[in-house]
Structure 1
Amino acid sequence: MPAAGASVLLLRACLALLASPIYLLSFLGMWEPFCRKIFFPFILDKLSVIHDKKSKKHKQELFRNLPDFRGPSGALRLLEIGTGSGANFQFYPPGCRVTCTDINPGFQEGLARNMKKNEHLQFERFVVAAGEDLGQVPSGSVDVVVATLVLCSVSSVGSTLREVLRVLRPGGAFYFLEHVAAEHSSWRYFWQQVCYPTWKLVFAGCCLTRELWKDLEEAKFSELKIQHISVAMPWMPIKPHIVGYGVK
């Protein structure tokens, strides 16, 4: 089926019409501030509850070997990119020293709540920064970097992965769980193409059709483990995911 055929364009137009108030606010420069400060933190907090339930077993398996990457001092220094409200904290081992980063400071209220719920961790600091620019984090200073549902919305996946490799110590690891493009011949990919422009606007730059496994394979990890999985999200075009980790 043609990915950008007339039917895709027609359905995109219909979806844009339904979302016309948002497009108007965007045109007037009012949507992005509202989205980042209020709408996106609120809606992501609600969606995270659903996604966490669906992906819990995958995260438990993914983070199971985190302690293997403790540094020479015995501590595990972990940097999370796009921490959001801290949904991953429950999976980190006791004593883990966590630095949180997010481009959106609007998440800090939910983040503070989850910090209080996870007293088994040692929280270092919160850094307002994009994944492509972690300049406030020294090179080779962390044992593990984590990104879940983040690479879909960074402006440059390649630049983000280069920053990940820079801040990791030699032998450190990058853990990821991300939604990705569906198989091109599938109906799911067809609907991803239909929803793409409006979805990206509504969900703060989230791209539905990134083939992130290719970016990870092109990055300079000495070892890379990737698994393609499905995380069923009702009525949402983000079922295909990848999960795994890469070693510097």
Structure 2
Amino acid sequence: MAITVFILRLALCILAFPMYLLNFLGLWNWICKKLFPYFLVKFSVMYNEQMASKKRELFSNLQEFVGPSGNLSLLEVGCGTGANFKFYPPGCRVTCIDPNPNFETFLIKSLAENRHLQFERFVVAMGENMHQVAAGSVDVVVCTLVLCSVRSQEQLLREVCRVLKPGGAFYFMEHVAAEPSTWNYFWQRVVDPVWYLLFDGCILTRETWKALEQASFSKLKLQHLQAPLSWELVRPHIFGYAVK
């Protein structure tokens, strides 16, 4: 099986040689940063339609973590185009972080469509280094479809714990590796190298639940599911929340 995966990977990489050449020349990342927001706008609409019930379930208890101010202070890491905004409660004070500055235009549009929120600021930064956000300053951190592409899940989760107030919560919804014995996992392994380039660093075979289980949260509520998505490769999901 490993040989078959290697041969199919090699064939796919040969077909994708122009992308690898652009990546070697340092141009592919620039192209992705420019074009990825336009793809994500379309993908987010489809994803929200197919995952709306699960997102509502995920965010149903956000109000439990409202601080003394009476308004929920929420930090979204890897905010993208603001696809989660409509699921947040009225009066929620939102700070957004994303390493791609090209998302700002799309965020502004999303905010105009979600006037029930109080927007704080957009910070261009990686989730593994959120030094612009003070320690113990937010009630909730949200991260959806982001842990698949960060360089270090462990470092990001340490940063999440740092910025959360005591008793604050980290909400997540992520696609993950399929069961190793399945055909889905086989094809995830085959396409992973090309998928990584096409989708801005996304890795299909990450066992993200392990990083969450090993992080220093006091409580973890985590569920596995087969998401009702059109794309078979990203159907294996986890979602839930963890409390500092």
* TM-score interval, normalised by the smaller of the two chains: over 0.9
TM-score normalized with structure 1 length: 0.96
Work out whether 1:118 is the aligned partner of 2:114.
yes
Residue matched to 2:163? 167
Taking only the aligned residue pairs, the percentage that are identical comes to 59
What pairs with 1:1-248 in structure 2 (closer than 5 Å)? 2=1, 5-37=2-34, 39-248=35-244
C-alpha distance in 1, partners of 2:21/2:92? 45
The count of residues paired between Structure 1 and Structure 2 equals: 244
Question: Structure 1: any 5+ residue segments left out of the alignment?
Answer: none
Relative to structure 1, the CA distance from residue 235 to residue 242 in structure 2 (aligned partners, 3 Å threshold; closer, same or farther) is closer
Paired letter, 2:33? R
Moved more, 15-24 or 219-228: 15-24
C-alpha distance in 1, partners of 2:44/2:119? 21
Cα deviation, residue 168, structure 1: 0.2
Paired letter, 1:114? S
Paired letter, 1:25? L
Q: Secondary structure at the match of 2:59?
A: helix
Q: Secondary structure at the match of 2:20?
A: helix
Question: Structure 2: any 5+ residue segments left out of the alignment?
Answer: none
Which whole-Å deviations, capped at 9, do the CAs of 1:80-119 have from their partners, x for residues lacking one? Answer: 0000000000000000000011011111111111000000
Relative to structure 1, the CA distance from residue 12 to residue 232 in structure 2 (aligned partners, 3 Å threshold; closer, same or farther) is farther
C-alpha distance in 2, partners of 1:65/1:15? 44
C-alpha distance in 1, partners of 2:39/2:10? 24
Q: Which ranges of 4 or more aligned residues in structure 1 deviate by more than 6 Å?
A: none
Which whole-Å deviations, capped at 9, do the CAs of 1:160-203 have from their partners, x for residues lacking one? Answer: 00000000000000000000000001100000000110001111
TM-score normalized with structure 2 length: 0.97
Paired letter, 2:191? C
